[in-house]
Structure 1
Amino acid sequence: MPGDNLTRVEAQERRALVSVDSYDVTLDLTTGAEVFRSTTTVRFSATAGASTFIDAFTRTVHSIELNGAAVDTSAADGVRIRLDDLAEDNVLTVVADAEYTNSGEGLHRFVDPVDNEVYLYSQFEVPDSRRVFAVFEQPDLKATFRFTVTAPAAWEVVSNQPVESRTAGEGNSSTWVFKTTPRISSYITAIVAGPYAKVESELASRDGRTIPLGIYSRKSLSQHLDADYIFDITRKGFAYYEEKFDYAYPFEKYDQLFVPEFNAGAMENAGAITFTETYVFRSKVTDAIKERRVVTILHELAHMWFGDLVTMKWWNDLWLNESFAEWASTISTANATEWTEAWTTFQAMEKSWAYRQDQLPSTHPVVATINDLEDVQVNFDGITYAKGGSVLKQLVAWVGEDAFFAGVAAYFKKHAWGNTELKDLLAELEITSGRTLTEWSKLWLETAGVNTLRPSFETDDSGNFTSFAVLQSAAPDYPTIRPHRLAIGLYDLRGGKLVRSHRVELDVDGERTEVPELVGMARPDLVLINDDDLAYAKIRLDDDSLSVAIEHLKEIESPLARALVWGSVWDSTRDAETAASDYVKLVLGNIATETESTTIRTTLSQLLLVARQYVAPADRAKTIEKVGSDLWSLAQLAKPGSDAQFQFVKFFAQIASIGDHVSALRGLLDGTVVLKGLTIDTDLGWELLEGLVLNGAATSVDIDAALEKDNTANGAQAAARARATFATSEAKVAAFNSLVDSDELPNAIVRNTALGYQHVNDPSSLEAVVDKYFAALNDLWKSRSYHIAETLIVGLYPAPLASQSLVDATKAWLAANPDVPALRRLVTENLAGVERALAAQAADVR
């Protein structure tokens, strides 16, 4: 990585010297395609005579003026500007040229291939407002911000605050002046500019204000924007949060902007939220994606209070920022929208992510040690989001939902526009709940790892329990045994359904917890530990319950209970306790009638991984063939037009492997094979074509023809993915070289090329890139921005090989490169996935 890191010690030292009052930022976006002019005036106080630095990523610094005196531009090194002999009150003005990016960091520039229009948007979290203006880049140096932007007159320009004035300039330009923001952190400021199409509305806040609402998208996508639905979800979120937080929306407007080539799902810029434009649905999407969009909208809205109004002092509390939004968006989705099974989705998607992340060698406590910015970047992970959200759910149960919301409301009132630490929130929750949270925090937030819970019981000759206990274990490296509040469900087959006949709720603590309430009861067909998903823990089924699940999971009526069983067997398969072939049997035998879209999507994704990497290598090809054939059969039998039918076709296209599969794909694509209720729209057409490419049944000419019909950003990304999917060593090397030899490709093309590169049924084509991969790692880390480097280091790792030789090569690189912690973490996580696959393969042979 470039020399752009900031350590916590540096931030603390700077915070001790400096307090920032305001920024006045003027940007000229009419200076060409590579750079823009950035003029920043900062007013701040400091310890008299002190020296410090301000962050500024620049191509050229034209002038620096401090307290009326010129500072030699040699004080700027392109990353920081040295500031010496400060006064008690200071005014600094920096005039510089800053660079547009194509990496989704800083001020991203995109040219729409449909109409050649230019679109810009900013993305500043974690440390990238410094790519646009000179700034003290740390969250606890809050200030007010006033933005002035010159841009083409035909554009829309959006920032955090409403427009104060707009004047015509030279040529076809205009200058927008935005109202001054409240005191906020630099990472949630925003600039979005371009000929965006805009839809306007408004809502009434609880304090009587009218809040203007805006939704923006590229002109070429605007006909697909379902603005009315997005406004409806937004209004429901406002009403829910303003009531539960007992605090009116803290900003003056609420714009939601769908922007191209975005790296994440969304970003909580104050009053100007940016979203990935994949949430503008130009083709049919699964219900899982529709629900995810709702959760994301409500996630970012929750941040307006938790994160924007009240902000963490340093990034070690990033987890609290994101975990709160995860929990809040899930409970609001479940209680305020039509997506009432949101907690089932949370279990199927978020918790599975958390359990996976918590078992990696890089796992860490929820409250992580964040020494510098590189630590922050790699900690945007399943611990920060999903485990944290799960733990907060437990905290809500521990203190009570009403007490939790009351504590949060008091926290917002007490710390509005300030910076806080975890202890500040816990202090308010202790007051409203009357509970002491020190021990809870120590066990759940300050230790790493996930516990495993399993039933242990004996029965008499009549089949009644004579003893029942819950056993708890922990990974040897993370041996903490924790208290859990959970339920145990007993399920019996009755009238063709697997129904819960009894439930007991209890506290589990220690390595063995007796459950006397179950002694004397008849042993059921299936025992489900952690029924209703109250606890954060992996759960195991006893052998007989697993056998029943494999045959009858589909007959469980509760979607949440089904999700828990799906997750339990997936965990035990990953841990090489359940044979991979049994997991395949479970999925193919029970997925047909699953009703929850996210459960289907998550489970089928796991099925494909199991078929390709977890089954015994000798059985891989026949397993892939069976999965493909069964998915095609499921698609043909599914209800016409259903979400399940749509998903079965999509996953069939991903794993098609034999001539009959190719014929089906080609028939769907050319219209000679028709499934009632299924429309082959543009995006599904690309997926079918990629399946043909995977099998050598389509050529580059076919990809070019598809791109000519779909000459859009989405089309270019799909074409890049398809080209990287060709199943030859030459194609994989070409895809690898296209990403490594040049840094000119934008982030979305990089990401999709990496997806196609890893799309294989026979992984042997990736053997040619193993040595090239390890040879390139250090240069990639040093020369690319963080998000691009991470995409390449994870996306180009030839994980599908899942071989001992890949393990050996990875360990050799790690042994030879001990000094780059963040890079080593990514490589170590790659290695852990392969080692887990090898253990699963060995278990499947037995």
Structure 2
Amino acid sequence: MPGTNLTREEAQTRAQLLAVESSTIDLDLTVGDKVFASTTVLRFTCREPGASTFADLVGATIDEITLNGVRLDETQVYRDNRIQLDDLRGDNELVVRCQLPYSRTGEGLHRFVDPADDRVYLYTQFEVPDARRVFTTFEQPDLKTVFTFTVTAPAHWTVVSNSPTPAPEDAGTDDSGTPRATWRFAPTDPMSTYITALVAGEYHEVRDTYVGAHGEIPLGLFCRQSKIADLDADDILEVTKQGFAFFEEAFDHPYAFGKYDQLFVPEYNMGAMENAGCVTFRDEYLPRSRQVRSFYEQRANTILHEMAHMWFGDLVTMRWWDDLWLNESFAEWASHHASTKATRYTEAWTGFTNARKNWAYRQDQLPSTHPVAADNYDLEAVEVNFDGITYAKGASSLKQLVAWVGEEEFLAGLRRYFKAHAFGNTELGDLLGALEEASGRELRSWADEWLTTSGVNTLSPEFELDPDGAYTGFAVRQSAHPDFPTLRRHRIGIGLYDREGDQLVRRTAVEVDVRGERTEIPELDGQRQPDLLLLNDGDLTYAKIRLDPRSLATLVDGIDTLDDSLARALCWGAAWDMTRDAEMSATDFVALVLRGIGTESDVMAVTRLPLYAREATESFSHPRNRDRVRATWEEGLRELLHAAEPGSDHQLAFARAFASAARSDAGLDLVAGLLDGSSSVEGLTVDTDLRWTLLGALAAAGRADADRIAAELERDNTISGQERAAAARTLRPLAEAKEEAWELAIVRDDVPNETQRSIATAFMTAGQEELLAPYLERYLEAAETLWEAKGVQRASTALTAMYPRPLTDDASVERVRAWLESSPANPAAKRYVREGLDDVERARRAQERDGA
């Protein structure tokens, strides 16, 4: 039985048979607090009269199904989340009336009651295949159509969709006497089901207008009433207008969807979603507490990412999910490119190297790695491939392509592409053809190397020196993992950096093409060996880089003296990668971070490096060294906290990191003092979110009990407070705390999605191995059925976060290996288990290196 799955072959067959003329959807949101009423009228043509197909609808209680005026027996035609449609005519009309449940998992139509004021908020999330949880669909991206929404809701609500919001019409009252209204939205432009949207509730609204070369675009910002004080509309609108000005000029194509609303919604599973003209964001992007600059840089990047999708994804859409990367990789590249060109975040590519790219490198070295252009043969494959390869490796590949063909030629190809395929569907070959026409370069072989193969290359320098220390021969050696042996063409910079006084500065750089296993670089013959030799200077390509012994020594002694932020990001990345590959000890990596982070100018690095150092401390250090490394890390952060400029981003980042590192009595006393006000650090404001960070640290150390957590929740009775309290309760080193958390995250279905995520993320706490040991068998038992029993969102969250990574002993590893060999679990579930095991095996190798 297909269940909620759909294969590529089924989609291709249906697309060859059907053309969808229109989809008219009537939703009544006044039925109750558990379900809503949905009526869909689908008009479509069939190229082979008499043929059969199916429509998609998940979890419905059917009232009536009518095909071409004939009522069908729903007990016969609606099963397994599909409506069987037989004996089709040339022109067809399908009418489905049903009731559907509101979601608590963030999939379909999610319903949220704000604990701050009991107001109700709804929003949809449809990517990949969840429009069918709200109305009857042909759920695949290449069956685009015109959508007409009519929505009945409480009259005092705000209702937003892809088309501009019309004036509401009186619709009487519901059973409780509450006034109702109906909003009749105009038909949309042709679009795919997954980018349609509905947002409804007591949202606060801010209006503005962008005026550009192609006319005016009405802008809207929306948030919950309890978040009004957090809506920094001026900053969000500034980035929005900068993005429109940049993209409309760069793409030479006007924005196509009329108005542009951005809605900040609660309990959101992802960062944002590019619904056409109706973009939804997680409302954590409206911070209630002080944030460092990198937070706003990332928010700006997300705003621009979703805006780029209006062209790449919404205007021109992939035919099937094999080309999901065309959406996400492009938007990832375009958002960073626009940030550097059009906003105040001019060093966005440095932040990309310090954060997003490391995500891609990790994902690409897992056993589940896949090509950028993945073989998404069905929806289950798609849903597990929203990962660092799809986003960050793909964006890195595009950055390499831009370097390969030239920026102007690349943009010229995009302009051809948008003009040729507006409101249509495409495949990879369509984009490559447009880029080849614009650049004059053959790109099919480039695509074969970069988009259809897996794994990451490693670039290492090889050289000889004359007696005076000058290069007499220089080459770049390229290698690959034996399981993924592709050697690619790379356009790279090679930077030579020397010490000049108390600075490490670039003397010169060359830009070259690297091919095959070994590439001679004659441009460097005669150059004096630098103190630091940096491959991939400028971060043009996607590859791991290695440092020669002299360069590594220079880095260890003076990364804080390197005067270029992007070069430092590459060095940080190389050091972290060498630590993960057991070529640099965890002890040395922690020392390196402590040396350089205090003066690091890129705040993205200042927030990310402590996460890497914490992983090095807790997972990669040898057990006999761990207490010493922990003490070094804790004391180093304490010194950095006190030395940081009062009120600075560095100070806040170090306060957060210190709380997570504190284990000594003195350290925990300081954490407790900051929380209760008996201690202070000049310039540090202990606001709501920092209070929870401090309390979580105390809970993990056994110094905050359930009553103390409840008292903090009483101070902050918001959804964020409830999520942070759930995490804090889970962190406690108590058997009953773990048992309660397991019940909430694994067993129960009524726990909201983001609360479940908070619990799952806090569950496997380093240092609590004795408490966690019994959960290895329980985790494996749950993994047998979790995918089918709980659905994609809950299952993927639990399987990823609750893998027992702290258990690195031989017996635990062998048990998981045996389970993977014998278990009949869903392949998607086994993928997450296999990834967790790979993390543990990598940690074991790193521990051995640290103990050597």
Give the match for residue 51 of structure 1.
52
Q: Normalised by the size of structure 2, how large is the TM-score?
A: 0.98
1:644 has 2:650 as partner = yes
Give the letter for the 1:776 counterpart: A
Give the match for residue 434 of structure 2.
428
Give the match for residue 727 of structure 1.
733
Distance 1:284 1:759 in 2: 26
1:478 to 468, 473, 484: 484
1:205–1:249 contact (8 Å) kept in structure 2: no
Give the match for residue 22 of structure 1.
22
Show structure 2 runs of 5+ residues with no match: 174-178
Distance 1:533 1:602 in 2: 18
- Deviation per CA, 1:421-456: give whole Å up to 9, x if none: 010011111111111111111111111111001111
Aligned-pair CA distance for 1:207: 2.2
Taking the TM superposition and a 5 Å limit, the aligned residue runs for 1:248-287 are: 248-287=254-293
Aligned-pair CA distance for 1:763: 3.1
Distance 1:29 1:315 in 2: 31
Aligned-pair CA distance for 1:457: 1.8
Give the match for residue 76 of structure 1.
78
1:332 has 2:331 as partner = no
- Deviation per CA, 1:670-693: give whole Å up to 9, x if none: 122211221100001000001111
SS in 2 for 1:442: helix
Between 779-788 and 21-30, report the one with greater CA deviation.
779-788
Give the letter for the 1:795 counterpart: A
Give the match for residue 834 of structure 1.
840
SS in 1 for 2:773: helix
1:803–1:834 contact (8 Å) kept in structure 2: no
Aligned-pair CA distance for 1:78: 5.6
Give the letter for the 1:691 counterpart: A
Distance 1:527 1:821 in 2: 44
Distance 2:313 2:760 in 1: 33
Distance 1:357 1:237 in 2: 30
1:464–1:519 contact (8 Å) kept in structure 2: yes
Give the match for residue 162 of structure 1.
164
Give the letter for the 1:175 counterpart: T
Aligned-pair CA distance for 1:629: 1.7
Distance 1:590 1:397 in 2: 30
Taking the TM superposition and a 5 Å limit, the aligned residue runs for 1:600-639 are: 600-639=606-645
SS in 1 for 2:355: helix
How many residues end up aligned between the 2 structures?
Answer: 845
Q: CA RMSD in A?
A: 1.2
Distance 2:811 2:502 in 1: 49
Show structure 1 runs of 5+ residues with no match: none
Aligned-pair CA distance for 1:765: 2.4
1:298–1:332 contact (8 Å) kept in structure 2: yes
Distance 1:333 1:763 in 2: 43
- Deviation per CA, 1:225-245: give whole Å up to 9, x if none: 001111111000000000000
Taking the TM superposition and a 5 Å limit, the aligned residue runs for 1:699-778 are: 699-778=705-784
2:787–2:826 contact (8 Å) kept in structure 1: no
Give the match for residue 593 of structure 1.
599
- Deviation per CA, 1:377-435: give whole Å up to 9, x if none: 01101111000000001111111111111111111111011000010011111111111
Distance 1:705 1:165 in 2: 45
Give the match for residue 194 of structure 2.
187
SS in 2 for 1:469: strand
Give the letter for the 1:54 counterpart: A
1:798 has 2:804 as partner = yes
Distance 2:767 2:346 in 1: 37
Distance 1:632 1:417 in 2: 56
Give the match for residue 113 of structure 1.
115
Aligned-pair CA distance for 1:818: 4.8
Give the match for residue 89 of structure 2.
87
2:329–2:394 contact (8 Å) kept in structure 1: yes
Give the match for residue 66 of structure 2.
65
Distance 2:599 2:771 in 1: 36
Between 476-485 and 124-133, report the one with greater CA deviation.
476-485
SS in 2 for 1:82: strand
- Deviation per CA, 1:162-187: give whole Å up to 9, x if none: 12342011221111111100000000
Between 271-280 and 674-683, report the one with greater CA deviation.
674-683
Aligned-pair CA distance for 1:810: 1.4
Distance 2:757 2:702 in 1: 22
Distance 2:680 2:197 in 1: 47
2:3–2:80 contact (8 Å) kept in structure 1: no
Give the letter for the 1:45 counterpart: T
1:201 to 172, 193, 208: 208
Give the match for residue 147 of structure 2.
145
- CA pair 799-213 structure 1, distance change in 2 beyond 3 A: same
1:779 has 2:785 as partner = yes
SS in 2 for 1:96: strand
Distance 1:535 1:112 in 2: 45
Distance 1:27 1:79 in 2: 19
Give the letter for the 1:91 counterpart: E
Taking the TM superposition and a 5 Å limit, the aligned residue runs for 1:98-109 are: 98-109=100-111
Aligned-pair CA distance for 1:147: 0.3
Taking the TM superposition and a 5 Å limit, the aligned residue runs for 1:305-454 are: 305-454=311-460
Give the letter for the 1:193 counterpart: A
Distance 1:233 1:754 in 2: 34
Between 5-14 and 759-768, report the one with greater CA deviation.
759-768
Between 325-334 and 10-19, report the one with greater CA deviation.
10-19
Aligned-pair CA distance for 1:515: 1.9
SS in 2 for 1:154: coil
Distance 1:494 1:765 in 2: 53
SS in 1 for 2:324: helix
Aligned-pair CA distance for 1:465: 2.1
- Deviation per CA, 1:354-385: give whole Å up to 9, x if none: 11111111111111111100000011011110
2:784–2:824 contact (8 Å) kept in structure 1: no
Give the letter for the 1:85 counterpart: D
Q: Normalised by the size of structure 1, how large is the TM-score?
A: 0.99
Runs of 4 or more above 6 Å deviation: none
1:729–1:767 contact (8 Å) kept in structure 2: no
Give the letter for the 2:4 counterpart: D
Give the match for residue 177 of structure 1.
184
SS in 2 for 1:169: strand
Aligned-pair CA distance for 1:621: 2.0
Give the letter for the 2:589 counterpart: Y
Give the letter for the 2:588 counterpart: D
- CA pair 762-783 structure 1, distance change in 2 beyond 3 A: closer
Between 656-665 and 758-767, report the one with greater CA deviation.
758-767
Aligned-pair CA distance for 1:458: 2.3
Give the match for residue 176 of structure 2.
none
Give the letter for the 2:141 counterpart: P
1:205–1:248 contact (8 Å) kept in structure 2: no
Aligned-pair CA distance for 1:468: 1.8
